[in-house]
């Protein structure tokens, strides 16, 4: 693995964005950023030639029950550097800016996160379910997920909340 | 002027050449493709969710079922991510055996690629030749772990059992056979005029597009981007071997094919070096029976046969992972399909599916 | 006037019938019926034999074993397949054009059965030795386009329709060079009669006199019979099975039968037109030579088919129009010049 983003640079980012913070105790600390400044900071990370994180290596979300956390792992091919960016989202109606505005290749991954975790990506070109059926109404990767019951109604496969889960 | 109308042809999920259960809605104007929309999810088993209720060791067999033609590489990716999370040192011999298995599996996976590609181009003969040679590797896996495809051989902390003399000898025999094998492929299909005409200059992915879509693996290398995680990250024992990364020129179907052919050669090269310098010693680190990695998260990536396979694991300190996310290369690569098909003919769409080499077990996860 | 075992046998049979019935017209009718049934039997059995042969040869090329379970060495495999096909459920899809759909496989079989009437199997053994034999032959074989298009249109499936349209495109593109290639032979023979064409090859086979035409014919014949590498009509990796995607059981088997019959037809035609027909050294009777050559031709076509990948529609059409047609025309010109020079000398 390449090296992790230096703490000096993290401090620079922190100075630039007031919602950015990180845990200096950790060896490889993730930057936490407020969701309103996420897009701007990502643009800086991508476009600033001293950072040039040109690759969105991984994009996913974690359900921590009280809140969601978006996790972005960025990689710079030029400097062989890593950085992890995290955004906390409220549990009700989680929304975040779509990264397709900067990395077009996150299209499918965001659709997957939307599908399985139920996070809405703003300004996404084509936000539809990608793995689950189109008429499925739950998000399987959430911790409070209860599988829906398949039923055929009028020749169409439909999904219903289970009645008893005792 | 005759009036023509565009129409949508639904290819798959039951179609002879969509590589499993990929569904592609191809919009056609006559035989010319206007757009191709992949539809996924027919093989979605919820592996990420299933892993949340299994212990770390129990998760490994699930990785076999991701990219089921290169199970060893998936085992490797997951185990390394857990090892990173739990800070486990893997013995050197195990690292070497892992490399041998992963590279053998890469060759086997490329055999499937060549086979399905030639089959999609209408020559079933090519497929049989590729699968005949793949069988040799599967037999080797049978010797080393008793399974042919879903190996579950690479475990957290090392490998399941030491490689037998029989396996090492068999691997050596296979490596010795590789040049003859590639030569035969050259004579059967690489040199074939029709084969070349179908592949050259079709479905071009430019360097920029490949980077834009975040592609990885042989697909991005065919477009001329020198991006191989084995070389960049030097994970496991890969730093100790000397090998080249084959890179294509213009990123057409032909380059994607040639890059994979050359990769077989390089894999053989790596296995040869690993066999020659194989150290003695244990093959399993001391891993607690009940593994409880410390609280935290880790992202680790390996070069799967299809590209950058990443595992993001969140541990809450218990015996089971709190969250596992798998960055599947085929899934991300599929984004390029639309662009590859536009302006091509229907027959090229099939070639494009084949050369982008998606594996639905991995795409749908 | 003719020699050969089959001719003599037929002559003998005719005499026996004549002495039994006594009315020439009725004898003629009975003879024709007998001949036609023999031809049909040949067609049907050859399809069985060829299926097995093709599978075995293909297995050999593909380093496999091939069918080896049913009967000794898998000999009865095609019989088992036939029984299986008869047993299959006859699925009629929704929204089809019923009449066209049902007629298509039957109509496809008609031309491929009909052309057997024009094949000279041995000296004097030809069911209908008409004056315009070759012309009729070409006319009939080109009729196979229609059932394909019908099946493709009637199936109410886009795959079938694409397959049907491809048939038309490729037939148009390859029928023309084929006819012009055969023109050279007609010019040399001076007749369209099939028996005359074979007769003209008693000294020198036309493959020697017409090498260009031979090459063109091989390519166009592969196209005509939808053999790989020109099997775009049923390109299984793109359009599943083309016009016969929606057919099952016996209906599909009819397509299959027609395909094998077509394969044998092009084998026979190559033999007849270029390889001297039933001519050969005297130690074997004419029909033996005929079948040996035919089998070699069929083997060749199968070999080609199992070796090459499929062409793409645009390369294939442009090859037909831009390469084969001009070459065929040049061949006609060269033949004319050759004949002129030969006559002067």
pLDDT tens digit string along C211-221?
A: 888 888 888 88
How much is the pLDDT for C227?
A: 79
Residue B327 at interface with chain A, using a CB cutoff of 8 Å? yes
Q: Is 60 exceeded by the pLDDT of residue B203?
A: yes
Phi, psi values for residue C96, rounded to 5°: -90, 165
Looking at the structure of chain A, the number of domains it has is 1
What pLDDT is stored for residue B2 in this prediction?
66
Question: Is there a domain that residue B299 lies in?
Answer: yes
Mutate to test the interface with A, among B238, B314, B323, B326 (most CBs of A within 10 A): B323
Higher pLDDT, C238 or B150: B150
A partners (3+ CB pairs within 8 A) are B
Backbone angles phi, psi at B29, to 5 degrees: -120, 95
* pLDDT exceeds cutoff 80 at C44: no
For residue range A14-36, what is the model confidence (pLDDT) as tens digits? Answer: 888 888 888 878 888 888 888 88
B-chain residues within 8 Å CB-CB of C309? Answer: 118, 121-123, 126, 189, 192, 194-195, 198
| Inter-chain CB proximity B44 and A131 less than 8 Å | yes
Q: Is the pLDDT of residue C300 over 80?
A: yes
The more confidently predicted of residues C5 and B247 is B247
For the CA atoms of B285, B236, B296, A35, the dihedral, rounded to the nearest 10 degrees, stands at -170
Chain B residues whose CB is inside 8 A of the A103 CB are: 212, 214
In B196-235, the residues whose Cβ lies within 8 Å of chain A are 211-215, 227, 232-233, 235
- Domain-embedded: residue B21: no
- Please report, for the domain that includes residue B229, its CATH number: 1.10.645.10
B132 CB neighbours in chain C (<8 A) are: 63
Burial class (CB in 10 A: 0-12, 13-18, 19+), C304: middle
Is A27's Cβ below 8 Å from some Cβ in B?
no
Which chain C positions have a beta carbon within 8 Å of B125's beta carbon?
Answer: 58, 61-62, 306-307
What pLDDT does A10 receive? 83
Q: Does residue B269 carry a pLDDT above 70?
A: yes
Statement: residue B1 has pLDDT above 70 = no
Is residue C123 over pLDDT 80? no
Task: Give the gap in angstroms from C-alpha C158 to the nearest C-alpha of chain B.
Answer: 7
Residue in C279, A32, A142, C214 with CA at minimum distance from that of residue B46: A142
Domain-embedded: residue B29: no
- pLDDT for res B18: 66
Q: Please count the CA atoms within 13 angstroms of the CA of C247 that sit on its side-chain side.
A: 30
Assign A20 to helix, strand or coil. Answer: coil
Please report which confidence band the pLDDT of residue C343 belongs to, taking 50, 70 and 90 as the band edges.
confident
Least CA distance to B9: which residue of chain C?
C158
CB contact under 8 A, B212 and A106: no
Across all residues in chain C, what is the average pLDDT? 83
User: Given B132, B192, B346, which is nearest C309 (Cβ)?
Assistant: B192
Residue with tokens 């090296």: A3
Burial C6-45 (b: 16+ CB within 10 A, else e): bbeebeeebeebeeeeeeeeebeeebeeebeeebeeebee
Put simply, whether B295 touches A (Cβ < 8 Å) is no
Which pLDDT score is estimated for A164?
59
Burial annotation B185-220 (CB, 10 A radius, 16+ → b, else e): beebbbebebbebbbeebbbbeeebbbbbbbbbbbb
For the cut 70, the answer to whether the pLDDT of residue A54 exceeds it is yes
Count Cβ neighbours within 10 Å for each residue of B3-27 and write b for 16 or more, e otherwise. Answer: eeeeeebebbbebbbbbbbbbbebb
Please indicate, yes or no, if residue B15 is contained in any of the structural domains.
no
- The beta strands (E) that lie in chain B are given as 7-11, 23-29, 32-39, 154-155, 158-159, 296-304, 307-315, 321-327
Domain annotation covers residue B72: yes
Question: pLDDT tens digits, residue range B81-140?
Answer: 888 888 888 898 898 999 999 999 999 999 999 988 888 888 888 888 889 899 999 999
CA B123 distance to own-chain centroid: 23
- Whether chain B has a CB inside 8 Å of the CB on C323: the answer is no
Which region among B308-317, C56-65, C116-125 has the lowest average model confidence (pLDDT)? C116-125
Q: Calculate the average pLDDT of chain A.
A: 86
Task: Report which DSSP code applies to C312.
Answer: P
On whether the pTM is more than 0.90, the answer is: no
Write out pLDDT tens, residues A112-162.
899 888 888 888 888 888 888 888 888 888 888 888 888 888 888 888 887
CB atoms closer than 10 angstroms to residue C172 = 14
Q: B188 pLDDT band (50/70/90 cuts)? A: confident
The number of folded domains in chain B is 1
Taking contacts as CB-CB distances below 8 angstroms, the residues of chain B near C228 are 122-123
Per residue in B53-62, is it b (16+ CB within 10 Å) or e — as a string?
A: ebebbebbeb
Query: Length of chain B in residues, anyone?
Result: 365
Smallest CA–CA separation between B283 and chain C, in Å? 39
C303 touches chain B (CB under 8 A): no
Number of continuous H segments (helices) and E segments (strands) in chain A = 3, 9
- Counting one residue from chain A and one from chain B, the pairs whose CB atoms sit within 8 A come to 76
Flag the least confident range among B14-18, B53-57, B333-337: B14-18
Residue of C nearest to B199 (CA): C312
For chain B, list the contacting chains (3+ Cβ pairs, <8 Å).
A, C
pLDDT, mean over chain B: 87
Tokens of B9: 């042809």
- Tell me whether residues B118 and C314 touch, CB distance under 8 A: no
The pLDDT, as a whole number, for residue A165 is: 54
Q: Which residue's entry shows tokens 């049923």?
A: C234
Instruction: List residues bridging with A86 in a β-sheet.
Output: A32, A71
The DSSP secondary-structure symbol of C241 reads: T
- Among all residues of chain C, which has the CA nearest to that of B18? C237
Contact A105 B335 (CB under 8 A): yes
The residues of B whose Cβ lies within 8 A of any Cβ of C are: 7, 9, 15-17, 31, 118-126, 128-129, 132, 189, 192, 194-195, 197-198, 345-350
ipTM: 0.89
∠ CA(B232), CA(B235), CA(B239), 5° rounding? 70
Q: Do B310 and A145 touch (CB under 8 A)?
A: no
Q: Do A105 and B325 touch (CB under 8 A)?
A: no
Which range of residues forms the domain containing residue B79?
41-364
pLDDT band of residue C176 (cuts 50, 70, 90) is confident
Domain that holds residue A94: 3-132
Percentage of the residues of chain C whose pLDDT score is greater than 70 = 99
What's the Cα-to-Cα distance from B171 to each of A10, B92, B184, B274, rounded to whole Å? 48, 19, 19, 11
CB contact under 8 A, B214 and A56: yes
Which of the four pLDDT bands, split at 50, 70 and 90, describes residue C1?
Answer: low
pLDDT of amino acid B232: 86
What pLDDT score was predicted for residue C3? 65
Residues of chain B in contact with residue C239, where contact means CB-CB under 8 angstroms, are 346
Asked which of A78-82, B296-300, C257-261 is least confident by mean pLDDT, the reply is: C257-261
Q: Which helix (H) or strand (E) element contains residue B262?
A: helix B253-276
Q: Give the CATH number of the domain where residue A92 resides.
A: 3.30.460.80
pLDDT class of C70 with cuts at 50, 70, 90: confident
Domain spans of chain C, in order of start:
91-344
Flag if C62 and B7 touch (Cβ within 8 Å).
Answer: no
**pLDDT confidence bin for C231, thresholds 50/70/90:** confident
Q: Do C159 and B9 touch (CB under 8 A)?
A: yes
> Nearest Cβ partner of A57 from B48, B310, B331?
B310
Q: Enumerate the residues of chain B whose CB falls inside 8 A of the CB of residue A117.
A: none
Residue C2: pLDDT band (50, 70, 90) is: low
Residue C250: its H or E element: helix C249-274
Task: Please report residues of B whose CB lies closer than 8 A to that of A56.
Answer: 214
């Amino acid at each position: 693995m390449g090296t992790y983003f230096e703490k000096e640079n993290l401090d620079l980012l922190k100075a630039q964005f007031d919602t950015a913070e990180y845990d200096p105790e950790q060896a490889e600390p993730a930057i936490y950023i407020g969701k309103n400044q996420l897009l701007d900071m990502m643009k800086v990370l991508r476009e600033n030639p001293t950072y040039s994180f040109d690759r969105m290596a991984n994009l996913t979300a974690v359900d921590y029950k009280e809140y969601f956390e978006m996790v972005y792992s960025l990689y710079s091919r030029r400097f062989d550097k890593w950085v992890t960016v995290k955004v906390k989202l409220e549990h009700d109606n989680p929304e975040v800016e779509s990264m397709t505005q900067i990395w077009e290749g996150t299209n499918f991954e965001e659709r997957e996160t939307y599908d399985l975790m139920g996070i809405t990506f703003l300004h996404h070109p084509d936000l539809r379910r990608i793995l689950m059926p189109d008429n499925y109404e739950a998000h399987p990767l959430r911790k409070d997920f209860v599988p829906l019951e398949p039923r055929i109604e009028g020749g169409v496969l439909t999904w219903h909340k289970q009645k008893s889960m005792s | 002027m005759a009036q023509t109308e565009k129409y949508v042809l639904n290819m798959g999920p039951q179609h002879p050449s969509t590589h499993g259960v990929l569904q592609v809605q191809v919009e056609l104007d006559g035989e010319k493709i206007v757009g191709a929309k992949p539809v996924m999810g027919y093989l979605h088993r919820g592996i990420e969710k299933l892993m949340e209720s299994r212990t770390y060791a129990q998760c490994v067999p699930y990785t076999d079922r991701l990219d089921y033609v290169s199970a060893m590489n998936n085992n490797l990716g997951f185990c390394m991510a857990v090892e990173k999370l739990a800070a486990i040192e893997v013995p050197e011999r195990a690292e070497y055996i892992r490399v041998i298995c992963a590279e053998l599996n890469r060759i086997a996976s490329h055999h499937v690629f060549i086979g399905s590609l030639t089959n999609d181009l209408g020559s079933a003969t090519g497929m049989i030749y590729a699968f005949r040679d793949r069988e040799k590797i599967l037999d080797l896996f049978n010797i080393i772990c008793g399974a042919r495809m879903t190996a579950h051989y690479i475990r957290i902390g090392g490998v399941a059992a030491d490689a037998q003399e029989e396996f090492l000898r068999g691997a050596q025999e296979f490596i010795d056979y590789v040049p003859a094998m590639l030569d035969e492929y050259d004579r059967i299909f690489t040199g074939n005029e029709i084969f070349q005409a179908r592949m050259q200059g079709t479905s071009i992915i430019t360097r920029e597009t490949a980077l834009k879509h975040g592609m990885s693996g042989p697909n991005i290398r065919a477009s001329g981007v020198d991006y191989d995680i084995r070389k960049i990250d030097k994970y496991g024992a890969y730093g100790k071997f000397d090998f080249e990364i084959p890179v294509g020129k213009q990123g057409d179907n032909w380059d994607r094919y040639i890059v994979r052919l050359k990769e077989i050669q390089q894999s053989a090269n790596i296995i040869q070096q690993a066999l020659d310098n194989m150290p003695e010693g244990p093959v399993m680190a001391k891993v607690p029976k009940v593994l409880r990695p410390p609280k935290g998260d880790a992202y680790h990536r390996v070069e799967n046969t299809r590209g950058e396979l990443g595992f993001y694991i969140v541990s809450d300190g218990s015996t089971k992972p709190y969250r596992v996310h798998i960055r599947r290369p085929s899934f991300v690569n599929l984004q390029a399909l639309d662009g590859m098909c536009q302006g091509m003919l229907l027959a090229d769409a099939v070639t494009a599916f084949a050369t982008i080499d998606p594996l639905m077990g991995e795409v749908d996860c | 006037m003719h020699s050969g075992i089959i001719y003599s046998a037929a002559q003998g049979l005719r005499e026996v019938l004549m002495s039994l019935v006594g009315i020439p017209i009725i004898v003629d009718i009975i003879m024709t019926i007998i001949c036609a049934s023999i031809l049909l039997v040949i067609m049907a059995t050859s399809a069985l034999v060829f299926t097995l042969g093709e599978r075995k040869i293909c297995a050999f090329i593909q380093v496999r074993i091939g069918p080896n379970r049913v009967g000794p060495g898998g000999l009865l495999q095609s019989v088992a397949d036939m029984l299986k096909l008869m047993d299959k459920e006859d699925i009629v899809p929704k929204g089809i054009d019923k009449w066209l759909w049902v007629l298509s496989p039957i109509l496809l079989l008609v031309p491929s059965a009909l052309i057997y009437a024009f094949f000279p199997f041995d000296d004097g053994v030809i069911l209908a030795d008409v004056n315009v034999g070759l012309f009729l032959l070409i006319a009939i074989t080109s009729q196979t386009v229609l059932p394909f298009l019908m099946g493709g249109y009637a199936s109410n499936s886009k795959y079938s329709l694409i397959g049907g349209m491809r048939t038309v495109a490729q037939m148009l593109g390859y029928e023309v060079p084929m006819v012009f290639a055969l023109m050279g032979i007609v010019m040399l023979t001076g007749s369209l009669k099939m028996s005359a064409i074979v007769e003209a090859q008693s000294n020198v086979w036309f493959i020697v006199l017409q090498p260009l035409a031979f090459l063109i014919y091989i390519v166009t014949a592969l196209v005509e019979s939808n053999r790989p590498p020109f099997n775009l009509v049923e390109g299984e990796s793109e359009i599943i099975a083309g016009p016969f995607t929606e057919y099952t059981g016996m209906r599909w088997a009819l397509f299959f039968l027609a395909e094998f019959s077509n394969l044998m037809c092009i084998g026979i035609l190559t033999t007849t037109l270029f390889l001297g027909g039933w001519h050969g050294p005297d130690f074997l009777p004419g029909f033996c030579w005929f079948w040996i050559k035919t089998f070699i031709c069929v083997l060749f076509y199968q070999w080609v088919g199992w070796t090459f990948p499929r062409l793409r529609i645009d390369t294939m059409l442009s090859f037909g129009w831009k390469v084969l047609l001009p070459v065929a025309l040049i061949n006609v010109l060269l033949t004319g010049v050759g004949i002129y020079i030969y006559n002067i000398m």
